[in-house]
Amino acid sequence: MRDFEKISFEQFKKDIKDDLKLYNEYSLPKRDSVYTAGYDIYLLEELTIKPGERKKVPTGIKSYFDKDEVLLLLVRSSMGFKYNIRLCNQVGVIDADYYNNKDNEGHIWLMIQNEGEKEYNFKKGEALAQGIFMKYLTTKSDKSINIQRKSDY
């Protein structure tokens, strides 16, 4: 099974700010309709990004899912198509053992860049990216892998 959770308030204070009201009011990712593949990821606060600028954006979320799955993060189509806003890594890859890791609880961040010619002002609660859960396959030689991320998974 898979789902999204908020990071703990302690992690929120460390990564974002000590603001219980903001912590309590932000939304977990959700789909727009029954046929939507991606879970929209919403901005915690207003954000302005100028042409050529890059910004690291906290989401306040983490996700758990089956060990043979991956969570792919992609910019929402309209952000890239209409405004030339992109994720700096193009596609984010979140592995199952990132959940509850000891470094940051599995807090998912986005790094975005404005490659357009105009400043873009995001509103608080606006959907910036989307997460899609996918199964993946491995090769038979993977049987020798025994390295694990330091997590509570």
Q: Where are the domains of the chain?
A: 3-136
Domain over 3-136 is classified CATH 2.70.40.10: yes
Take residue 83 and report the two structure tokens written for it: 């405004």
List beta partners, residue 62.
Answer: 5
Closest CA to 15 of 114, 128, 103, 131: 103
Residue range 29-87, pLDDT digits in tens: 999 999 999 999 999 999 999 999 999 999 999 999 999 999 999 999 889 999 999 99
For the whole prediction, is pTM greater than 0.85? Answer: yes
Q: Are 12 and 59 contacting, i.e. CB atoms less than 8 angstroms apart? A: no
Percent of the chain surpassing pLDDT 90 = 88
